Structure 1
Amino acid sequence: MSFCHDVINVSCVKSNWSNDTRATLYSLMVLVILTTLVGNLIVIISVSHFKQLHTPTNWLIHSMATVDFLLGCLVMPYSMVRSVEHCWYFGEVFCKIHTSTDIMLSSASIFHLSFISIDRYYAVCDPLRYKARISILVILVMIFISWSVPAIFAFGMIFLELNVKGAEEIYYKHVHCIGGCSVFFGKTPGVLAFMTSFYIPGSIMLCIYYRIYFIAKRQARSINNANQKFQIGLEEKNGISQSKERKAAKTLGIVMGVFLICWCPFFVCTVTDPFVEYTIPPTLNDVLIWFGYLNSTFNPMVYAFFYPWFRRALKMILLGNIFQKDSSRCKLLS
C-alpha cells in the first residue's frame, strides 16, 4: 500500500492501479478534455468572429461555451490527476480554489442550459413578441445570473466550510486526510447544492421543453387543419408538418437526455450519500463527476453542431478562411 504523503498516519492512500490502467485512464480523460476545449473554442470563435451570428441567443450560447471551455481548461486537468492517482499534489488552498471553481463552472453551465430553454420557449411559442421580450439586455441579465449566482454559492460554500456543516466530526475523522481533495457535503448543504445546481434549473428545463414540444405539436396540427380546409398540397404539407414534429421531438429528447444522463447520477449520489452514512465509494463518485463533465463536452455538439451555420463556420475556420479580409461579414444563415 502506497501513500500520498510522508506522514503515513494522516495521509491519503494512493491508488494501486497498474501502469497500464493508469495510462488508459489518462488517455481517455485527455481525450475528453481536448474534445471539450476544441468543441467549445470553435463555438466561441464562430460567434465572436461572424457578425451575422451576433444575436442575443448566440451570445447566450457563446457564454455557455466559455463556461464549458474554462471547465475543460481550469478544472478537468487537476481532476484528472486526482481521479487517477487518488492524491492531490497542489496544496490545500488550491484544493479549495479548484473545488469552488469546479462547482461554480458546472453549476453555471447548467444555469445557461436553463436560460437557453427559456429563450427557445419564447422563440417557438411567442415568435411575434420574441424580439421585444428577449432583448440583448435580457440576455445580459441571464448571463450575469448564470455566472454570479453559482460563483457566490460555490466560493461561499467551500471557503466558509458550509459544505461540512453538520457533519464536521465524520469529515475530519473519517474523510479528511493529507494529500486528498474530495468534494464533501453534509445533509443540509448536500440538499441545498442539489436544489440550487441541479433540481431547480433542471426542472425549469424539463417543464419548458415539455411545453415547447406540445405547443409545437399543436401548431403542426393547426397547419394540418388549415391544409385540409383549403385542400392545397394536403399530403405533401402533412408530411412536412409531421417531419417537423418528429424533428422537434428528437431535438428536445436529445437535449434533455444528454443533460439527465450526464448530471442526474452525480447529483442523486451527492444528495443521498449523507443519508446512507457516506457508504458510496469515492471511486464511483469520481466516475460520476466525469459523467457530469461530459455534459460540457457534448454541449457544443447538441447546441451548435445541429445548426447549419455552425457547420459552415467550422469549415471556414478549418480552412483558415476567417483570416481573409471581410470574412466576418460572410453569410452563414440562409
Structure 2
Amino acid sequence: MDNTVAPPLCFHGVNLSCRRQLRPHSEISLLYTLLSCISLLTVTLNLLVIISISHFRQLHTPTNALLLSMAVSDLVVGLLVMPIEGLRYMETCWLLGRLMCALMSLLSYSLLSGSLGNMVLISIDRYMAICDPLLYSSKITLNRVKTSICLCWACSVLYNGLILKDHITWPNRFSSCHGECVVVISHISGIFDLLISFVGPCTIMVVLYVRVFVVAISQVRAMRRVAVAVSAAPAVKRSERKAATTLGVVIAVFLMCFCPYYYPALAGENTSTSLSYFAALTWVMLLNSCMNPLIYALFYPWFRKAVKLIVTLRILHAHSRNTKIL
C-alpha cells in the first residue's frame, strides 16, 4: 500500500493548481536567514552610497551622479528583486498573481540593461577625464550627465518592454499550472539581446578602458621624466587615475557577475526561468548589487568618511552638507 503523501497545492480549491515542492524545515530557515541578510546588507550599503552622494555638496560631481544612479538601481534590486526571487525559489510557487509576474520580469530586465548602460556612461566619463582632461569640465557637466542617465533608463524600459511584449500581454503563456511565473525568451531573441545589450556595451567599455590605462601609464612616465610641477602639466591628477582604477574594478566585477546570465543564449537554448540552473545564474547576477558598495568602501576614502558621518548622525548638524569629504 502506497503511503506517500502528495505535495500540497499552491492554491487550495483552484483547478490546475501547481504543487508546492517540499523542503526540510531547517533548509527553509537557513535560506530565509541568508536571503534576509543579503537583502538587508544590499539595501543598507546602497542607501549609504545614496545618502553620501546626495547630502554632501563636494560629492555632487558628474562621476558621482553616475554612481548614484547605479546605487539606486542596486537598492531596488535589494529591496524588491532579491526578496521576490528568493520567495520564488524557496516557496516554488508564484503567489503574487499575473500582474506582478509581468511587472517583475520587466523590472528585473530593465535594471539589468540600465545598469549596463550606466557602466558605459562611467567608461565614457573616465575616458574623457583621463584622455582629454583640459576639456573634461566643459564637455562633461552635471546637467548633461543627469540627462544621459534619464535617457539611459528610459531606453532600458522601452527596449525591455519590446523584448518582453508577449510575456507582458500573456504572463501565463508558458505556465503548465496555476502558480507558475515562467519567462521564456527564444534563442533568436536571446542572441539578439546578447549582442545589443551585452556584447556591444562591453566592447565599448573594454576599448575605452584599454585606452584609459595606456594614456594614464604614458602620462605617469612623462611626469617622472620631466621635472615640472604636476599642477602645471597637462597630465591627469592622481585622483583621476585612482577613480579610473576603482571604476575599472567595478566594471570587471560587473562583467564577471553578468556573463553567466547569458549562458543559455550561448549554449543555443531558450532563456527560461524554468531551467534547472537559472536560479544560480540569477543570484550570481544579483549579488553584484551588494558588491559595488563594498568596492567603494575599499577604494574610496570619501565613502568611508561619509559613512562615519552618517552613522554618528553628524550629518544632522547645521551646515554638514558643506563638510570637506575629498
Q: Is the pair's TM-score, using the shorter chain for normalization, greater than 0.5?
A: yes
Secondary structure of the residue aligned to 2:180 is coil
| 1:44 counterpart residue number | 50
Matches within 5 A, 1:94-133: 94-133=100-139
Residue matched to 1:330: 323
Shift of 1:4: 2.7
Give how far 1:188 is off: 2.1
Shift of residue 138 of structure 1?
A: 2.1
* Pair 1:136–1:41, CA change in 2 (3 A): same
1:203 matched to 2:209:
no
Kept after mapping to 2: 8 A contact 1:213/1:248: no
Q: Which residue of 1 aligns with 2:36?
A: 30
Q: Within 2, Cα distance between the matches of 1:108 and 1:199?
A: 15
Distance 1:67 1:247 in 2: 24
* C-alpha distance in 1 between matches for 2:251 and 2:51: 26
Contact 1:157/1:163 (8 A) holds in 2: no
When residues 148 and 278 of structure 1 are mapped into structure 2, their CA distance, relative to the original with a 3 A threshold, is closer
Is 2:256 the counterpart of 1:261?
yes
Aligned to 1:218: 218
Amino acid at match of 1:325: A
Matched, 1:73 2:79: yes
TM superposition shift of 1:162: 8.3
CA shift digits 1:274-299 (9 cap, x unpaired): x2477997341111111111111112
CA contact (8 A) 1:163 1:190 kept: no
Matched residues in 1 for 2:178 and 2:118: separation? 36
2:16–2:177 Cα contact (<8 Å) kept: yes
Q: Aligned to 1:119, what secondary structure does the other structure show?
A: helix
Partner Cα distance (2:114, 2:179) in 1:
28
1:1-334 equivalence runs, <5 A: 1-2=6-7, 3-6=9-12, 10-161=16-167, 172=174, 176-226=176-226, 251=246, 254-269=249-264, 271-272=265-266, 275-276=268-269, 282-303=275-296, 305-333=298-326
Aligned to 2:233: none
Assess, with a 3 A threshold, how the Cα gap between structure 1 residues 280 and 74 changes in structure 2: closer, same or farther: closer
Asked if the contact 2:47/2:75 (under 8 Å) is kept, the reply is yes
Paired AA for residue 135 in structure 1: T
Q: Give the helix-richer structure, 1 or 2.
A: 1
TM-score (norm 1): 0.83
| Structure 1: tracts of 5 or more residues without a match | 233-242
Q: Give the conservation status (yes or no) of the 8 Å contact 1:209–1:252.
A: no
Cα drift, residue 193 of structure 1? 2.5
Deviates more, 1:6-15 or 1:62-71: 6-15
Shift of 1:305: 4.9
Offset, 1:6: 4.4
| Contact 2:11 2:179 (8 Å CA) reproduced | yes
* Counterpart-to-counterpart distance in 2, 1:155 and 1:276: 22
- Distance in structure 1 (CA, Å) of the matches to 2:270 and 2:317: 61
Structure 1 Cα separation of the partners of residues 149 and 273 of structure 2? 35
Q: Compute the displacement of 1:13 (Å).
A: 4.4
Amino acid at match of 1:73: L
Letter paired with 1:272: L
Give yes or no for contact 1:37–1:72 (8 Å, CA) kept in 2: yes
Rounded to whole Å, the distance in 2 between the matches of 1:279 and 1:89 is 19
Cα distance, 1:322–1:146 mapped onto 2, change above 3 Å:
same
Structure 1 position 186, deviation (Å): 0.6
| Ranges of 4+ aligned residues in structure 1 off by more than 3 Å | 5-13, 159-164, 246-253, 276-281
Deviation of 1:247 (Å): 6.7
The answer to which of 37-46 and 217-226 deviates more is: 217-226
| Structure 1 position 151, deviation (Å) | 0.8
Offset at residue 8 of structure 1 (A): 8.8
What amino acid is aligned across from residue 188 of structure 1 in structure 2? I
- Report the Cα offset of residue 317 of structure 1: 0.2
Q: 1:11 Cα shift?
A: 4.0
Residue 232 of structure 2 corresponds to which residue in structure 1? none
- Counterpart CA distance in 2 for 1:265 and 1:10 is 34
Q: How many aligned positions are there? A: 312
The CA RMSD over aligned residues, in Å, is 3.1
Q: Partners of 1:86 and 1:314 in 2: how far apart?
A: 38
Letter in 1 for 2:263: V
Aligned partners of 1:40 and 1:65 also within 8 Å:
yes
CA 1:187–1:203: 2 relative to 1, 3 Å: same
Q: How many angstroms apart in 2 are the aligned matches of 1:226 and 1:294?
A: 45
The whole-number CA distance in structure 1 between the counterparts of 2:21 and 2:13 is 17
Q: 1:239 is matched with which residue?
A: none
Gaps of 5+ in 2: 1-5, 230-237
Counterpart of 2:184 in 1: which secondary structure?
coil
Q: Secondary structure at the match of 1:161?
A: helix
CA distance in 2, matches of 1:304, 1:261: 20
